[in-house]
Amino acid sequence: MSDAELVLRSTRVITPEGTRAASVAVADGTITAVLPHDADVPAGARLEDLGDDALLPGLVDTHVHVNDPGRTEWEGFWTATRAAAAGGITTLIDMPLNSLPPTTTVDNLRVKQDVARDKAHIDVGFWGGALPGNVKDLRPLHDAGVFGFKAFLSPSGVDEFPHLDQDRLAGSLAEITGFGGLLIVHAEDPHHLDAAPQHGGPRYADFLASRPRDAEDTAIAALIAQARRLNARVHVLHLSSSDALPLIAEARAEGVRITVETCPHYLTLTAEEVPDGASEFKCCPPIREAANQDLLWQALADGTIDCVVTDHSPSTADLKTDDFATAWGGISSLQLSLSAVWTEARRRGHGLDDVVRWMSERTARLVGLDARKGAIAPGRDADFAVFAPEQTFTVDPAALQHRNRVTAYAGRTLSGVVKSTWLRGERILADGEFTEPKGRLLDRT
């Protein structure tokens, strides 16, 4: 072993080749070698012996609404990136809404970068937004380093981020495909939503009926058709409806360039258990039935679903009223996603290497960061989560770093505790204590 400044040793290092006892050498913030567990530590290098705690690559969460600036009372870069670090996440990609301004022009991107720069405890990148009327802004945003573009096919929930109809979707997608970009899509069809019964009120069953599976299925079918026609690269955000899985699998088999994510809440919470009036469980598309959840897990196992991201989308507590029709839709889980997913994954017979593939490796690949992030391998950034998989804890909202401590997971007992988090070879969090922000702003290039 040579040139190492730091060696992290664990009996359970999650590498792309599997879980094994190893010593991971780090220099200048980069992993230089993955060596046998008992390898000699070079003179001058510091040894961190983690015992049986698992060493994971830092998670890469490509779906986070930081809301800063403009709705900083909902969340902000300081609080979001601390919560992420506490959850073992070392890279997040910020959604282009619900901040003000939205990330739909290069000027707006610069505003957001300026706000984030000194507050980022972890690495932060940005998605751009595709809106009616901003086709001319897409290439400049791409050149400025956004990781791709988000579009809605139905109303987004905020007025400043209108959705695309099918004609405008085609126009934006053609432009994005022209420069080799990626379009990520909130896929619910507005006509199916309009046709669904809209009762409002506190009953979860009524809310679920107002966001039917066929709204997702129809929107995804239309997106597949557009992607096929343009040979475009598209990504389905927060898949909830398992009925869309065969469409996606077929499209992929025929060569359509489509990837898919789902979220911890669809994988760990079910419609049957949501209490009426409990709008901390409200998100769009909604949490569906247990039988639907089983099929999402099957799709993760067989690879139809590529990855798992939080869709962390908080608001202030007063917007989480007991009327599901008008309450803010969004679930906060940055700090809890790893433990929540691991708890259920383990129960279903999956290993930590599966969880790392879904929450780090594949998400890094989605945004083209896989040369630097997403694996414990030589040449990658020395970003790690030290994780005690067998340890359990009960979710106490007061212990969350989220700005608003509203969570659908309150009171749940989860497996897996993040003991420390490392960014480019520096421990940024241990035993609840954070360093000063050391995150960097990331560009696609």
- For 127, the token pair is 């998605």
How far apart are CB 123 and Zn ion at their closest, in Å?
19
Residue 213 parent element (H or E): helix 213-230
Query: Cβ(61)–Cβ(80) under 8 Å?
Result: no
Considering beta carbons, is residue 181 or 330 the nearer one to Zn ion?
A: 330
Q: Which is nearer to Zn ion, 157 or 368 (CB)?
A: 157
CB 13 within 8 A of CB 376: yes
Contact (CB, 8 A) for 149 and 184: yes
23 vs 108, beta carbon nearer Zn ion: 108
User: Minimum Å distance from CB 310 to Zn ion?
Assistant: 9
**Cβ distance to Zn ion smaller for residue 94 or 311:** 311
Maximum CA extent, the chain: 70
Reduced 3-state DSSP string for 289-353: CHHHHHHHHHHHHHCCCCEECCCECCCCHHHCCCCCCCCCCCECCCCCHHHHHHHHHHHCCCCHH
Least Cβ distance, residue 111 to Zn ion (angstroms): 20
CB of 228 to Zn ion, least distance (A): 25
Quote the least distance from Cβ 352 to Zn ion, whole Å.
Answer: 26
| Range 276-280 contact pairs with CB under 8 angstroms and sequence separation of 24 or more | 276/202, 276/203, 276/204, 276/322, 277/202, 277/322, 278/204, 278/322, 278/408, 279/320, 279/321, 279/322, 279/323, 279/324, 279/327, 279/328, 280/320, 280/331, 280/406, 280/407, 280/408, 280/410
Query: For residues 311 and 361, which CB has a smaller minimum distance to Zn ion in the complex?
Result: 311
Beta strands in 182-306 (DSSP E): 182-186, 233-236, 257-262
3-state SS, residue 287: coil
Residue showing tokens 């929107």 = 219
- Tell the smallest beta-carbon distance from residue 313 to Zn ion (Å): 5
Distance of alpha carbon 325 from alpha carbon 124, whole angstroms: 32
- Closest contact distance (angstroms) between CB of 333 and Zn ion is 12
Q: Which is nearer to Zn ion, 67 or 415 (CB)?
A: 67
Q: Which is nearer to Zn ion, 216 or 311 (CB)?
A: 311
- Residue 313 or 415: which CB sits closer to Zn ion? 313
Q: Whose Cβ is closer to Zn ion: residue 88's or residue 96's?
A: 96
The least CB distance from residue 10 to Zn ion, in Å, is 34
128, 110 contact by CB (below 8 A): no
* Main-chain phi, psi angles of 444, to 5 degrees: -65, -35
Interface with Zn ion (CB under 5 A): 311
Q: Please report how close the Cβ of residue 208 comes to Zn ion at its closest, in angstroms.
A: 19
| Cβ 25 to Zn ion shortest distance, Å | 38
CB-nearer residue toward Zn ion: 311 or 381 = 311
**Residue of closest CB approach to Zn ion:** 311
Q: Strand, coil or helix: what is 75? A: coil
Burial 2-17 (b: 16+ CB within 10 A, else e): eebbbbbbbbbbbbee
3-state secondary structure of 6: strand
